Amino acid sequence: MMKIVFLTGAGMSVESGLTTFRDAGGLWENYPVMSVASHDGWLRDPEYVNEFYNMLRTKYKDVKPNEGHRFVAELENNGNHDVVVVTQNVDSLHELAGSKNVIHLHGEMMKMCSSRDVDNPRFWVSLPHEGWEADGLEVPKGAKAGDGSLLRPYIVFFQENVPNMYDAVQEAQKADVFVIIGTSLNVYPAASLLQYVPKTAKVYLIDPKPAMAEGAHGVHVIAKGASEGMKELMEILGE
């Protein structure tokens, strides 16, 4: 069975109406990035950080998967391939489209976790949660994890390790086909995954404005958005 590993970034979700995280509705004008997306920012003012992510979740709640997400899920669910998605995105659009084998490198918007040990998934809490406000999308001030620490967004902040990177590397090393969608390969450590892909694997880059030329590093470029690019890839794979 062919193993296909996807590495997806912000461009995967653009067609669903999500702009890149930093550009989403000018959010960073009111919330400085290092105040709401860094470990130091969390330690300084956890209520301020949780307020920001409460607001973000209300923006994410009605977003739907696009055709690109559905094509990826179809490849997994038709039973012909072993498919794993490694994503830099914090949305749940791959899962909503039907993908089951998803590794989130930068965390998940709709989960909270212990602030004592962010690398330990034992204290994740998925939203919505009975008793929480705003249809379960708001985390009340002072909400606690199972270990008694403050609940914090399950987001990998700047200055923190990427706990799922090891799993992502393990999958990349077994790829027969490695597909990059909607990421410039400028964000590390995710960008380093390409170096773990076997030399025998076929590598595709789907991006309307690709950061590398056709043939560079053995990469086949499909210069299209996620949905049209996935449609072309399905044809290449004979689906």
For 112-156, the DSSP string reads: EEESS-TT-GGG-EESS-TT-HHHHTBPPTT-B-TTSSBEEEEE-
Tell the CATH topology of 1-18+65-106+161-239: Rossmann fold (3.40.50)
**212, pLDDT greater than 80:** no
* Overall average pLDDT of the 90-107 stretch: 95
How many residues are given for the chain?
A: 239
Most confident stretch, 55-69, 151-165, 206-220, 221-235? 221-235
pLDDT at site 215: 55
**155, pLDDT greater than 80:** yes
Domain boundaries 22-62+111-155, corresponding CATH code: 3.30.1600.10
* Overall average pLDDT of the 48-60 stretch: 89
Active-site positions read 106
**171, pLDDT greater than 80:** yes
pLDDT at site 209: 86
Which is more confidently placed, 187 or 235? 235
Dmax (CA) of the chain: 54
pLDDT at site 134: 46
* Overall average pLDDT of the 189-209 stretch: 90
CA distance 165 to 183: 16
Instruction: Round the average pLDDT of the chain to a whole number and report it.
Output: 87
* Overall average pLDDT of the 136-162 stretch: 86
Domain definitions of the chain by residue range: 1-18+65-106+161-239, 22-62+111-155
Q: Compute the radius of gyration of the chain from its Cα atoms.
A: 18
Report pTM. 0.90
Q: What share of the chain is helix, strand, coil (3-state, %, to 5)?
A: 40, 20, 40
* Overall average pLDDT of the 117-130 stretch: 69
* Overall average pLDDT of the 42-52 stretch: 94
